[in-house]
Amino acid sequence: MQIQTFSENHQHSAIMAKLILVVDDTPDLLEGLREFLQMEGYEVVSATNGQEALDVLDAMPVDLIITDLLMPVMDGFQLIRSVKQRDDFRNTPIIVFSAKPRHENVETLLQIGASKFVSKPSDLENILLSVKELIHE
Amino acid sequence: MTTLQQHPFFRPARIASAVLVLSLLLLIASWFIELPQIIRLSSATAILCLLYSLIFLGFGRLRGAQFRLLAAAIVSFTLLFTFSQLLSYFVNPYLIVRRVTPVASLAFFFISTAVLLLLLDRDRYLRFAQVMLIIGSSVGYIGLLGHAYLVPEFTGVDSMLMSLPGAICILALCYCYLMLYDNQGILQPFNTLLEGGRMGRSFLPAVIFLPLAVGYLRLFGHWYGWFSTEFGVSLIIGSLSSLFSVMLYFSMKVVNKRDQIRMESELALERKNVELQELTKELQRVSEELQATNEEYLSLNEELQASNEEVSANNEQLTALNDQLHQANKKIQEQSHQLVQQKQREYDLSEGSLRSILQNTDHSYLILNTDFTLRAFNRAAAEGVYRNTGKKLLMGSHIFDFMEASTHQNFLEILIRVRKGEKVTYVRDVPTPHGKKWYLITASPVHTIDNEFVGYCLATVDQTELRQSQAELSEERNLLRIIIDHLPLNVYVKDLQSRKTLANKAEYEYLGFATEEELLGKSDEDLYPTESSTISIEEDQDVFKTGRSIINKETINVRKDGKKTYFLISKIPLYNGSREIMGLVGLSYDITPRITAEHKLRELNDRFTLLSRATNDAIFDWDYVTHQGIWNHGVETIFGYFVANKLAPVTEWTGYVHPEDQVKTRIQLFRHFVLRKPVWTMRFRFQCADGTYKHVLNRAFIIYSAGKPIRIIGALQDVTEVTVYRQNLERLVAERTKELNDALNAEREVIEMKSRFISIASHEFRTPLTTISLTSGYLKRYETKIDAAHRLKKLDLIDKQVSHMTSLLDDVLMLGKAEAGKIFAQWELTSLVPLIEEIVDEIQLASDQIKVKTQWISVPKLILMDPKLFHNILANLLTNAIKFSPSGRDVELTVTGEYDHLILGVKDYGMGIPSDDVPTLFEPFQRGGNVASIQGTGLGLSIVKKSVELLGGTIRVTSTLGEGSEFVVTLPIKSE
């Protein structure tokens, strides 16, 4: 679990930066996403599986969660369910960023509480659009 | 010292004590209130009273050692305290203000001594303790008196006097403690159920309170001057004397009463004794008397017996005499009686027999005098005359009175012939109301012994019935003739010359005559052609000679006109009255129609036999009533039973049905019977003569009569060949279907594998692709904002992802090629240790947490090996070992060189493999059930397997779920 509370390159320093939790078990991907989001002025906290993500949520309030599905220890589905059961994060938007599962699985995801599904691979613009749409900036 | 709680006094004592405790608590409270001096109690006294009351309350129940110790401590303290109080009083009576008064101290001194003794719990101290308590109570009593009588000695010294409550308290305490053991020690007499105890209990209050009251009275009288001191004293003395007198009176009464009772009982005892003695005496006397009487009786008895014997002897003699007399008398009587009877019988026989004959015969007898008057007649004569004429025969009346006038002359002539001594017999018909009757009358003369004619005897016999039966006979003969004529038989009678003497209608018509008469007298020679008549005449002669009948002989008769007729002929000899053969009776029955039918039937039967021979079925005809079966030759050709042989299933052949089919067969048959179904078709197996079974198709027809099956006719067709053929066909179809299904399943598996490959591969490729796309997008977007080093780092990342994808692709391709058999080992000389170290280093680079520990055991230096395949094997095994070790424990690699092979052992302490997954472990795209959340393609181990196979080696795995796995690869060494 790595927590970086202050961005090096913040463009919106006047207001409090939004905090995004990124969950993925591929370190390279995690690092890439973090760098990108920080460049866009968000604060990022990362976790490599569902359990770590829940630990992070215990420690701090986040504004958005981006998560993979296939992960060791606790997968994305379980993470979404657990988050939706918690009173303090019930309304936190969740973006699922994962290799495209079967059609019915996407529906299941939206049913259990995911806000949006972004299929891997995806370009930066697409990710940024989804993030902005859900954070309401 | 026991039974405390059980005693009736104990309860009041406890209540008193409890009240005491309460009131003392109130008194202690009263220290803070101003109260008159007289009812105030010093604090020390009050506390002491309280303590003692509490001890008492605990006495019954808490007699344990601890309680006793505490109580003893309190008592000892009281002893010392009161003693010191007394001392202090003697030292200076005015010194101490708050202290226990001397009287109270004295009382407490006694009470505490008593309680101490009680606590010792010994019987011998009990009396002493009780005495102490009585003294203590006396002190209290004196204190009480001091108040009541206003004793100047007490009032004089202010502090001498115990307060009124104090006195009452002490009295109560003493009472309570005394009551603890009220039925023991010196109190024991008070507590008996005897008169003394009762008296003591009732007088004790009087003894205590009466003097008090009297004393009080006396003092009142003195104080208020009612009477003088002397009177007061006399009052006291008087009252005491009267009290004592009363007590004395009662004691006397009690003692007297007791003595009286004792004396009375003694007297009564003595009286009883005397009575008893008298009774004994009398008893003795009576028994003596009885004995005497008894003896007397005995002697009398003997005498009586003797006389009795004498009497009975006499009696016997008399009886014997009497018997003799009686017998003689009887004999005489018998003889006379016999004589009389014999005479009588003789007479009766002669007279009676004659009379009875006459009276009982059906013949009528009339005896006439010479003047034709009736002299005698019998019953039958009287009845006959009465029946015919309605007149009664009378003795002495004239015979002509009973006859018609027309017959008189005739009758007279007959009688005249009789008078001459002739016996005349004639028949006469008499018209009667019942029709004409015929009588045979015999008239004969009657003579005396002296041959003197005295009259006529007329004997009459009724012949009417005889005549009637003759008429009937002729009628019957006519009837017989008619029957014979109309019989469907040819009936004839022949004489000894074979000439017809009788022929019925059928006979003469058959021979072509119109009447019987035309035929009669003709012989067979005249009637038939020579060949027929010769045989017939020979037969006739045979019958006449031997006397034997010919019965139902089948012959063919040819008439003169050439017509052929089948006859069943019988010839029976005819005898005359003297048992000589006089001819024969012939009966000929035309059986031509029957013979014709039989011929037809035989023809049909022959045809049926031919037909049944033509079929190959076993045809049966089963009589279900007698359970007899008939089979055709089919039973022989199909099943090997001989038709004639008893071994053939002639009876219940369901027993020959195969045991497995038998129940089914019987049920079917039964169902047909119940439903009355006529056509019964089914398949079953039937036993052959050699014990084997054949499949047969049974087609049968059941015939019912009155709702019951009586006959089953059918055929068993041998369908064994067809059945076996069909079964083979079915089996073949099933086999083919299975093969097809297997192929389909295999196909399905391949398809599944492919789809699995696509989904896993797409996921595995997407991850590096995502990273690449992210990084490239990043580079594009922030091109100007990032420095060169940063850019280089990003480009390196892209390179890394690309090479990862390449290796992934290589894996898939390699596997594909290996599956297709397009890969072969490229053997080259390799130095083993550097190769292995290189691989380990490469793996180690990716994981810095888990170490690979390598152990070398006699490893060869240079071997022939395909380094690429070897790399595939070791790299995949090590990567897996690290990947599936969430525990973080190190992985062990053992490299062992043996004579002609190399052994690689990779052991981890990770999660292990579920036993269900072990069989499919080395198949491509198969992943363990417990690693779904760990990324992987499921290709690694299948690549390992393929590589090992290509190198000609083997691989095996041992694993325990949750504890770890060990893969052992054995590779052959090709050394130069």
Nearest to B624 by CA among B686, B705, B687: B705
C-alpha–C-alpha distance, residues B108 and B102, integer Å? 10
pLDDT band per the 50, 70, 90 thresholds, residue B815: confident
Chain A (8-37) residues lying within 8 Å, Cβ to Cβ, of chain B: 9, 25-26, 28-29, 32-33, 35-36
* Residues 46-75 (A) with a CB less than 8 A from some CB of B: 49, 70-75
What is the Cα–Cα distance from B198 to B13, expressed in whole angstroms? 19
B797 contacts in chain A (CB < 8 Å): 28, 32
pLDDT (tens digit, 9 = 90+) per residue, A1-52? 444 444 444 444 445 788 999 999 888 889 889 988 988 889 999 998 899 9
Mean pLDDT score, B226-241 = 82
Chain B: residues touching A (Cβ < 8 Å) = 762-763, 766-767, 769-775, 777-778, 781-782, 785, 797, 800-801, 886, 932-935
* Residues 6 or more apart whose Cβ sits within 8 Å of residue B2: none
Residues B745-749 have a mean pLDDT of 85
Q: Six-digit token pair at B520?
A: 């009669």
Q: What angle do CA B198, B204, B207 make, to 5 degrees?
A: 140
CA–centroid distance for B319 within its chain: 81
Using DSSP, how many helices (H) and how many strands (E) does chain B show? 24, 22
Distance from CA of A72 to the nearest CA of B (A): 4
What type of residue sits at position B241? S
Residue among A39, A75, A122 whose CB faces B933 most closely: A75
Q: Provide CB contacts within 8 A for B949, sequence distance 6+.
A: none
Which own/partner contact pairs does B96-99 have at CB distance under 8 Å and 24+ positions apart? B98/B42, B98/B43, B98/B44, B99/B42, B99/B44, B99/B159
Q: How confident is the model at residue B955 (pLDDT cuts 50, 70, 90)?
A: very high
Please provide residue B347's backbone torsions phi and psi, each rounded to the nearest 5 degrees: -65, -50
Q: Does A99 touch chain B (CB under 8 A)?
A: yes
Strand arrangement, sheet containing B500-503: B500-503, B490-495, B581-590, B564-575, B550-558
Verify whether the Cβ–Cβ distance A29 to B774 is below 8 Å: yes
Q: Is A33–B774 a contact, with Cβ atoms under 8 angstroms apart?
A: yes
Residue B519 DSSP SS3: helix
Interface test with chain A among B764, B770, B885, B887, by most A beta carbons within 10 Å: B770
The predicted structure's pLDDT at residue B513 = 84
Residue B435 Ramachandran class (φ > 0 left, ψ -120 to 50 alpha, else beta): left
Cα–Cα distance, A117 to A97 (Å, whole number)? 6
Pinpoint the alpha helices (H) of B92-150: 102-120, 123-148
Tell me, what's the ipTM?
Answer: 0.81
Mean pLDDT, rounded, for B183-198: 75
Give residue B237's pLDDT. 84
**What's residue A100's pLDDT?**
66
pLDDT at B36: 53
Residue B524's pLDDT is 81
- CA B942 to chain A, closest CA, distance in angstroms equals 22
Of B763, B771, B932, the CB nearest to A29: B771
Per-residue b/e over B888-918, b at no fewer than 16 CB within 10 Å? eebbbbbbbbeeeebebbbbbbbbbbeeebe
Nearest to B939 by CA among B925, B921, B920, B928: B925
Angle between helices B164-180 and B102-120 (to 10 degrees): 20
B777 contacts in A (CB within 8 Å)?
Answer: 36, 123-125
Buried b or exposed e, range B418-434, using 16+ CB within 10 angstroms: beeeeebeeebebeeee
Q: What is the 3-state secondary structure (H, E, C) of B783-839?
A: CCCCCHHHHHHHHHHHHHHHHHHHHHHHHHHHHHHHHHCCCCCCCEEEEHHHHHHHH
Q: Is B191 exposed, middle or buried (0-12, 13-18, 19+ CB in 10 A)?
A: middle
* A72/B772 Cβ within 8 A: no
- CB contact, 8 Å: A129 with chain B? no
Written as one string, the DSSP assignment of B324-340 is HHHHHHHHHHHHHHHHH
State yes or no: cis peptide before A121, omega within 30 of 0.
Answer: yes
* B29, B71, B108, B854 from B19: Cα distances, Å: 15, 20, 19, 99
In the numeric block, which tokens belong to residue B213? 């009251």
Mind telling me how many Å the CA of B766 is from chain A's nearest CA? Answer: 6
Mutate to test the interface with A, among B771, B796, B799 (most CBs of A within 10 A): B771
Residue B250: is its pLDDT beyond 90? no
CB pairs under 8 A between A and B: 66
Chain B closest-CA separation from residue A125 CA (Å): 8
Of A26, A39, A124, the CB nearest to B767: A26
Average pLDDT over residues A62-68: 92
Single pTM value for the model: 0.34
* Phi, psi dihedral angles at B366 (to 5 degrees): -125, 135
Q: What one-character-per-residue DSSP string does B524-549 give?
A: HHHHS-HHHHHHHHHHHHHHHHH---
Task: Tell me which residue in A39, A74, A120 faces B770 most closely, judged by beta carbons.
Answer: A120
Nearest Cα of chain B lies from the Cα of A123 at a distance, in angstroms, of 6
Query: Across residues B441-446, what is the average pLDDT?
Result: 86
